[in-house]
Amino acid sequence: MIHALSVASEAYPLVKTGGLADVVGALPDALAPHGIATTTLLPGYPRVLAHVGGAEVVHRWPDLLGAEARLFAGMLGEQPLLVLDAPALFARDGGPYGDPQGRDWPDNWRRFAALSRAASDLASGKVGNQRFDLLHAHDWQAGLAPAYLHFAQNARRVPSVLTIHNIAFQGSFDAGVFGQLGLPPQAWGIEGVEYYGSVGLLKAGLWAADAITTVSPTYAEEIRRPEFGMGLEGLIASRGDRVTGILNGIDPAVWNPATDPLLAARYSADNLEARIANQLAVEQRFGLSGAGPIFTVISRLTWQKGMDVLAGLLDDLIAMDGRLAMLGSGDAGLEQAFRDAATRHPGRIGVEIGYDEPLSHLLQGGADAILIPSRFEPCGLTQLYGLAYGCVPVVARTGGLADTVIDANVAALDAGVATGVQFDGVTPQALRSAIARTIALHREPARWRQIQRRGMAADFSWDNSGARYAALYRQLLG
């Protein structure tokens, strides 16, 4: 049995702002059948602490990067959880990264350096009787963990893996904070945390980790290029042989239309008619009337997700006889653009601004198609949920979207293998014609059913990806 420590800033169901949480939450169960026991380390945000309330204190740090901290042990589902309770850093209202107004906490570097330092202490055997064979860090918030491990004194050297869920978020901070990270002077440089004169937390992890993964094969290739590497392409390319893409899976305990308690009606590929109850619930909730396929959006409203391009096309979508039920939050300007569109098209466009996990399930179960016009998408989970729920994904051909959806072109339709609609380049023209193509397909019920069924039959369970992570761990452990 290999004991792995997985460290991240989010894990479903305790704390989630996006796909990172789904993946970190699902990974332990995905790895268990392959002989990997995973313990997850999370920051002690109020909700996470409440979850482990009254648990035993495993360790105390009188001064963890200037903060007093304790470690609690609990469970995340069936698997062990460790929670870093550092009230000065994590006991705050608001989100995991910012205040209730959405502004980033100015001391995020300290908050996540402390998390990373705790992970490194754990992995290097310095915390009580906790022993791990390997450290698995996720995204910039845990990026310093491999670097701390690299520079640790008198420590067990265990291998480290860093998974990039999104290279656009790099955790760059003013050089002035370097002196407070508790790293030796030689860590300031190209061989360390320095990145164009700043402290780069993701960069530090990319430099120090023994292996780097990202969440789809196409994204693993894309980030070697300037258009996608966001300045880190050189480092990625130089570590080329250590960078691999392992596709995310979906957690069948949470995302399965046959068992999902958050749906108005459960169904499978054999009784897709039962989706109608979910469609009616969506129509009611979003005030939709009339006919025409219902498109949904379940997304952060940001440039990455191409939501500006979609917002500019909503009148066209309605003119083509489509309807829209949108759930999302993000950029204020985009939120307003979608609200305005709903005002212009009552009964045809319904918009909920916010974050609503149960509603996201109902939309997958009741809408006809999900629009994902991302400019880049490391993996993307909502298209995988769409496939599983017979909510046909309409996606830009990039990253994990390119790897998981089979476009309904003539050849794929004839071969009966199509699972969605793809388009090249996030331009108004390309997205408009993808929407038009989707609406045309929806007018042919037999074809549409075939696309839905084929998507539902696609296997995006964790089985394959769990095996690939386990193989990587074993390779690192020699």
Interacting partner of 366 out of ligand ADP, ligand GLC, none (Cβ under 5 to 8 A depending on kind) = none
Nearer to ligand GLC, 248 or 438 (CB): 248
Interacting partner of 360 out of ligand ADP, ligand GLC, none (Cβ under 5 to 8 A depending on kind) = ligand ADP
- Measured from each CB, the residue nearest to ligand GLC is 19
Element of type H or E holding 48: helix 46-51
Burial of 93 (0-12, 13-18, 19+ CB in 10 A): exposed
Interacting partner of 382 out of ligand GLC, ligand ADP, none (Cβ under 5 to 8 A depending on kind) = ligand ADP
Q: Does 427 bind ligand ADP (CB under 6 A)?
A: no
Helical axes 382-389 vs 357-366, angle rounded to 10° = 50
Nearer to ligand ADP, 168 or 187 (CB): 168
Interacting partner of 298 out of ligand ADP, ligand GLC, none (Cβ under 5 to 8 A depending on kind) = ligand ADP
| Residue choice 71, 142, 381, 421 for contact with ligand ADP (CB under 6 A) | 381
What is the footprint of ligand ADP within residues 228-267 (CB under 6 A)? none
From edge to edge, which strands make up the β-sheet containing 198-200? 172-173, 198-200, 194-195
Among all chains, which residue has been given the structure tokens 């440039």? 303
Nearer to ligand ADP, 187 or 353 (CB): 353
Residues 162, 206: contact at Cβ < 8 Å? yes
B/e letters for 139-152, b = 16+ CB within 10 Å, e = fewer, are bbbbbbbbbbbbbb
Q: Does 169 bind ligand ADP (CB under 6 A)?
A: no
Residues that bind ligand GLC (CB under 6 A): 18-20, 23, 165-166, 215, 248, 377-381, 400
Q: Does 355 bind ligand ADP (CB under 6 A)?
A: yes
What is the footprint of ligand ADP within residues 273-302 (CB under 6 A)? 298-300
Give 194-197 contacts, CB < 8 A, sequence gap 24+: 195/170, 196/231
What is the footprint of ligand ADP within residues 319-348 (CB under 6 A)? 327-329
- Measured from each CB, the residue nearest to ligand ADP is 19
Q: Does 19 bind ligand ADP (CB under 6 A)?
A: yes
DSSP β-bridge partners for residue 423: 396
- In 3D space, the residue among 353, 395, 391 whose CA is nearest the CA of residue 376 turns out to be 395
Give CA–CA dist 384/435, Å, rounded: 19
Nearer to ligand ADP, 208 or 379 (CB): 379
Nearer to ligand ADP, 159 or 455 (CB): 455
Element of type H or E holding 60: strand 57-64
Which 3 state secondary structure label does DSSP give 300?
Answer: strand
User: Applying CB under 6 A, which residues contact ligand ADP?
Assistant: 18-20, 22, 298-300, 327-329, 355-357, 360, 379-382
